[in-house]
Structure 1
Amino acid sequence: MTDLEYQDRAEALLRAVELACDRINEDSDADIDNQRVGGMITLTFRNRSQIVINLQKPLHEVWLAARAGGFHYKHDGTNWQDTKGSGEFFENLSRYASEQAGQPLRFSS
């Protein structure tokens, strides 16, 4: 993947996360505060726990830090997949955010 392809796909991922937060906040009482600074989004939940999503441009990866741990994702041509085989980014984000929010939340591309 070229740097430009990575940047386009990574920016689309960040936009999808932001839009999902807006939708979740409209459709539920989850009240997720999402702050974006450059290539990083911080999701803050009511209990003050956070999930941080950060672009790693030199590696062409997206990193996600949650209470469950830290995870690295690479685009496989279709989806962002965990580099250690632990699944797809949006499925994992949905699971970790649901755990931290204490209610089912759904993120998608």
Structure 2
Amino acid sequence: MTETEFLALAERTLARIETAFENAVNDTDLDIECSRSGNVLEIEFVDNGSKVIVNSQAAMHEIWVAARSGGFHYRYEDGKWINTRDKTELFEALSAIASDQSGLPLQLG
């Protein structure tokens, strides 16, 4: 994958993540704020002040996630963003992270 292809894919992925969280806000009573600055998406769970940071790392061709539960790296494989350590899929992991940090079961995707 070229850097240009990666940047386009990463941009679509960050937009998809932001939309998934906006949909979660519309479907629940959660107060979640998303803010974007370039390749960094900050997701704040307003009720408890916790945050999840998602950003693209062009040099590594990865998406990185920082959450209370740790830091995670995802590489694009076979049409999905896969964790480089435990092989979980990005949106599956974000659902678990968001559920943990919000206290409500959330399904992002």
TM over 0.5: yes
CA RMSD of superposed structures (Å): 0.9
Aligned to 2:59, what secondary structure does the other structure show? Answer: helix
Aligned residues: 108
Shift of 1:86: 3.8
Query: Which one has a larger percent strand, Structure 1 or Structure 2?
Result: 2
Equivalent in the alignment of 1:81: 82
TM-score calculated relative to the size of structure 1? 0.95
Shift of 1:107: 1.3
Write the mapping of 1:44-55 to structure 2, written as runs, cut at 5 A: 44-45=44-45, 46-55=47-56
Q: Distance in 2 between matches of 1:44 and 1:53?
A: 11
The verdict on how the C-alpha distance between 1:28 and 1:44 changes in structure 2, with shifts beyond 3 A counting, is: same
Consecutive unaligned residues in structure 1, runs of 5 or more: none
The residue identity in structure 1 corresponding to 2:38 is G
Runs of 4+ aligned residues of structure 1 deviating over 4 Å after TM superposition are none
Q: Alpha-carbon deviations, 1:18-59, whole Å to 9, x = none? A: 111111111111111111100001111020000000110111
Identity rate of aligned residues, in percent? 40
TM-score calculated relative to the size of structure 2? 0.95
Write the mapping of 1:1-109 to structure 2, written as runs, cut at 5 A: 1-45=1-45, 46-108=47-109
